Structure 1
């Protein structure tokens, strides 16, 4: 493998992990919100919960190689 390919692979994996860690931070903030808001957590934490849901859909750790699934 060429050096350029290895650099691209490392960059792709690094970006994927950063996005996954961002989702983890949002999850931790959501847990704090649920804990502190108590009964009102559904109304107060709704935006944070929606953000977390979208992040776990999009920010999965993916490998570099793409395999066709048929």
Structure 2
């Protein structure tokens, strides 16, 4: 029975770590978005040219860094 408790605690720790990493990635995307907004406001009409790197970084981050739950449910 002690093994079940240890397995359960280990699984809870894994869940916490997964959720924490997911939120950290989402917050990094939020910071990049803020920097992109500042860049766009500062550059004015030239923001397409000067803020392109931030825009590409942000679009990649929002595709990859979604907050996901721990369980994956197969719907197929």
Q: Does TM, normalized by the shorter one, top 0.5?
A: yes
TM-score (norm 1): 0.97
The match for 2:17 among 11, 21, 30 is 11
The match for 1:28 among 22, 27, 34 is 34
TM-score (norm 2): 0.89
2:64 corresponds in structure 1 to 58
In the aligned structure 1, how far is the partner of 2:31 from the partner of 2:75? 31
Structure 1: 5+ residue stretches without partners: none
Larger Rg: 2
CA RMSD of superposed structures (Å)? 0.9
Structure 2: 5+ residue stretches without partners: none
In the aligned structure 2, how far is the partner of 1:35 from the partner of 1:67? 42
In the aligned structure 2, how far is the partner of 1:53 from the partner of 1:20? 12
Q: Does 2:50 correspond to 1:44?
A: yes
Aligned length: 70
